[in-house]
Structure formats: C-alpha cells, structure tokens
Structure 1
Amino acid sequence: MKALVYTGPKSVEVREVATPAPVAGAVKVKMRFCGVCGTDIGIFSGRHPRAKAPLVLGHEFVGAVSEAPAGSRFAVGDRVVAYPLISCGECRPCRTGTPHVCQTLRLIGIDRDGGMADHLWVKEDVLFKVPDGVSDEVASLVEPLAVVVRSLHQAQFQALDSCVVMGAGPIGILTAIVLKHAGASKIIISDIDEARLAMCRDFGFDAVNVRETNLIEHVNAVTEGTGVDIVFECSGVESAALDMTKLARVGGMLCITATHKVPHAVALIDINFKEQRLVGTRVYTLQEFGDSVAFAGRIADDLSKLITQVVPLSDAASVFDMIADPSVNAVKILVDCQA
C-alpha cells in the first residue's frame, strides 16, 4: 500500500509499504484524511527523541471501517477517528486515572506507524464514530481540538473570562476559536505572521503583530491596566515565557499549551507578587477526545476555515516544503489519503 514514510532527518518519501497484518481486537480503517501536525514537523526535522525511521507519519486521521471483527460495535462504512495515545497501564499515572500522562506514553504515528497511508488497523476501544453531518475534513481536526479542550479544562476557563493567546499557529488559532464558542469576553491573539493574523481578524479576534505593537502595552491599554484572566502560551518561544506573567491580572492563570523544548526564563516574582497560577497541559484524556468528536460538529463552520491546503498522498512528500515556505500561507494542511 502507499504511505508517507519518514526515512531520516529532513527526508520523507511516498512509497509502497507492506500491507499491515490484521490485529486481534482491531478494526481495519481505510484512511480518508490525515492532518499534518507540529509533531510531524519535529519528526521530519530529526529532532523528535522517539520517532525512528522508517516510520509512517500521521496521528490526526479520519477514515471509514473496511473490516471489523464479529460482534464489533462498528460496521463496514462507519466513519471513525482514533484516540492515538498508547499508555502502559502499569505506571502510577495509569493506575491513578491519568493514563494520558503515562510515564512511557506512546502515540500512533510517532512510536508506531500512523495514518498517512491507505489503511491502518486500530484497536476498537480507541475508535469513535463521526456524527452524520460532520465532513471528513472537519473530523480530521478532532485530535488538535481535543488538545485545546484539555487546555481550557486545565486553565479552569469560565464563560466571560478575558484571554490572551500567544501564538497564531494551528493550536493557537484553534484555542481562540474554542474560547469564542465557550463565551470568552475578550480574545487577544499575538503572532508575527501577518497572514495568520489576518485570518484571526476574520474570526473577530483582537490580533496583534508583536513586530509592530508591544503586546504588554496593548493588553494594558485594552484592560485598563488590569491584565487578562488567562494567558494561553501556544507559541513555544523564549520571549513569550518571559512576557506571559505581565499579561495576566493579579490572581490570573498562565496555561502552558506549547511544548518548550529548552528551559526559558520566567518572571517568577510576578507569580509571587500577583499570586498567579501556572499550569501545564499535555494532550487529552479519552473522555475529552470523545467529547471533542461531538463538539467538532457544533463548530464545524469555523473549523473548516483552518484548513488552508489539501494535498494528495501521492504528492505528500512536498508538505514540509510547503510549511517552510512563507508564501504558501499554510495553517492546516490535510493529506488526502485516497488521492
């Protein structure tokens, strides 16, 4: 079968690979679309600590059941998305109800072959049916949507909270979209990419280009010097780590959604003097993933606007060049696994 395979640092190929053998308790899923994620970019660069070549990429996928075991709750033709986390079931987090932060957490598409292929065998207990009326393209965004749902839960977001989202990448824009639908009173989003900021303005967000405007001064101006209730740090850049405490109010929340790969300076004195709260967030629970399937249907119109390019699997080796090319203006790229 055809698949997009990571073959080594900065090298991917569309190649014929062996058809995977049936797996006990699994369902055969014919892939339809698979999103390209920041994690895939990290794998492509050769910097991911666990991903080993050769590897079929992709963990944000939607497909249709083509084979199911006897007695399965799925029927041939059912459209499904998969919770891609693989937990050990034995470590303390797994034993105490938080397997999504398993001490040896693994993922489909990182630690085993993923969904940028013709099909994949997936364990039945991690599959969720896609509701009628939700397109395949929108369904492929359930996984990043679940990341954002977890982030809002960790930040203890409440309706009418004011928020800053630092970084207008796919997760940052998606965070702002979810905040809008969850009833945020104010949504300020920052970045340096004017095309992405233009998309944010089309959504109705207060979009700030930090190359042109000082974000701290802007937030102080629009909040009368108070700061916002919650800062979602979605950029992963050093300057954001230092600035975030200046953006949140006294008693405000700082939620680290991005993965900071190296230590960065943080103004801990602000956390002391302003009694701010700092929380991390990582992936999502099985419940949050399932809830995101239904939620995707309710915000489908906005989710579809995030998809800027659809690339056939036959040409998918080009996606990382597209992402690196600023003239392409890529936000969310999907791979059409049947083209």
Structure 2
Amino acid sequence: MSGIAATTGPATTPGATVMAVAVLGVAAAAVVLLGWATFLPKNPVQWVGVVLGWMLVAAVMPRPVRTGDAVPLDPGAFPHTHELVSSLAAEIGVQPPAGLLVSTAFGARVMDAGWRRRPVLTVGLPLWTCLAEDERIALIGHELGHLRGGRVRTAVVAHAHGLIERTATLLTPLPRDAVSDFEDPRLNVVRSNAVMNGVGRGLLAATSLPAVLLLLTFERITSRERQMHAYAADLSAAQVAGTTAVARLLISVANLPGLHTVASAAVRRREDPFDALSRSRRDDAHTAGEVARARTRARTEGRRWDAAHPRDDLRLSVLEAHATQPGVDLLAAHRSLACRADTELANLRTTLHRALRDELLETWM
C-alpha cells in the first residue's frame, strides 16, 4: 500500500469488540463441536462432512502475519535509527515497536507480526528518501501514534476480522467471465461449462452471503474509529514534528504516484532510482496555492467510506484546528537523530537497489 498506513487491524470500538468476541466464541464452539464429532461413530458420508469441516477450519484459522521481504534493522548496525524511533515513542507516550524494518515500498506502516502479533514498524526506503527531514520525523510519529490504545482489544478484533474475511473470501464466487472450456478429443467437440459455472456462482453467492454481510457489518462498525485513529496519529506526529511538518507530509504522500513515475523513469534510463528520488525532495514549505490545490484534489478523489484514513483536506483541517509545535531544543534533537538515521539507511540503497528496480520495471511493464 502506498503512503502512510496502519495494519494493526480494525479499530477497537466497544461494538466491534463485543462482535469480535462473539465471532471468536462461535468459531471456538464450532471447532469443539467438530472435534467431538470426529470421535463419534460415523458412516462414510459423515466422515466426508467431518473432513470437509476440518479443511474449512484449516482455511480460516488465524495465521501469523508475515513482514514480506522487508529487511530487519539490527540495533547494533543501525543504532541511531532505533534511537530515533525510541525517542519519538517516548515523546508520544507509547512503547517502541518490537521490530524495525525497511522495505522497497513507497509507504510506511505499523503491523502486528507473527503469532504473538507484536507490533513492528516498516518504513519504505523510497518514501523515506524523497521526504524532507521534518517530514521523516512526522512519518515516524504518525506510525507510532497508531500504537496508542488497547493492544489486547486490538488483537481480538484483528483475529475476528481475519477469520470473517477469510471465510467470505473462501466462499466468494469466481468472476462472471471466469468460464472454462474443455475439449473432448475423442469427439472433437468443445463442451462449454458456462451454464455449470453460472450455477456454481449462484450457489456460492447464496452460501457466502451471510459471511459477506457479516464482514460488511463488522467493517462498517470499525470504519469510523479507524479514521478517528488516523486523526489522532496525525496529532501525535504534530506533537514531535510540528503541525507544518505533518501537513507537508500529507501533501508529499498525496504526490507519491508522481514520485513513483520519477523513479520508474530513472530505472528505464538505467539510473539509480534512489538518486532520482533524492533530487525530487523538497526542503521548502508548500505555498498557500499548493495547499489549496491539495485540498481540492482530496475533496474530489472519491475515497471509500471504509478507507483506513480520511480525506487529506479533513486531516489538514483537524491539524490546523489543533496546531502545535514542539520545543526548539526538542525538535533540534529529533532532527539530529533523523539526520544520523538517514546516513545509516542510505547504506541500504545498494542492498535494495535491485529489488526496487525489478519492482518498478514490473509495474511499468
């Protein structure tokens, strides 16, 4: 996902928590009942039902969240980067994430990784490269702001959401144009399965309807607080970087498609995409006209109601209504750490160059 995001799971409204506990309770009861049925005497048809039940359990059961190809940052090799994150976390009032990683994504995110769902922070090196110093502080501050709140409740809701989503996905019909044709070489006749595929889609649509409705209801309950959580994360970022820096970050992130094009063009010219992104970095503040145009674009972008983050024009308005600026000495300390962290992370450009180049070429092709 491009930009700044949080994937720690849906928000933790009381309604969502109650619904999540109910879903997990029903799932646990179903597994217990299936286990009990497994040891009862059965005929062959009943055995088929039990086997299918366990296959369904295996398909929808919770699983660890992977961090993909992101590179873990060892505290010994990247001491200033870890110090920056720890310092900002202390200022915001949260525990530092359990892990710190760097990827080739044009974004950053906090996610609960592994079976224990420990929070880890992943920063995309392309995004980091094209941001100004204060924007980098705001970026880390925003992601750390997502760590505020009840972790146990967040984990419960995340597990329930994953279970509902996997169930709905498992039962969702194939696209309407997914029609298979099989040729019988003995008769040299092409037999179309369009009718049977249509029947199958209808049966799956009816079967999946309860799970899909449950998923939509669950996400509807959580969507508002997820957006409120994004506002709170912006204010946390302003606490350590200043309101102006967070506003600049929002506008820079909104321009990520353009920066992606800049990096892709550099790769096609056989140039270093990180160098091209560095040259695209703006150290001057956006003008009032640029901010106004950013607001207009945000109002017309048609963001979905269940988006993890609200529109940028609304976020800018909230930031302006709660303008804040950290102390001069504190901000100077953060900038010093961000500068040293950038020196450390710049050493990874050679390591990630090939992976980023391949991703950009694949996207372009």
Larger relative contact order (C-alpha < 8 A, sep ≥ 6)?
2
**Same fold by TM (over 0.5)?**
no
TM range (shorter): under 0.3
Q: Hey, which of these two has a bigger chunk of helix by percent?
A: 2
Higher Cα radius of gyration: 2
Q: Hey, which of these two has a bigger chunk of strand by percent?
A: 1
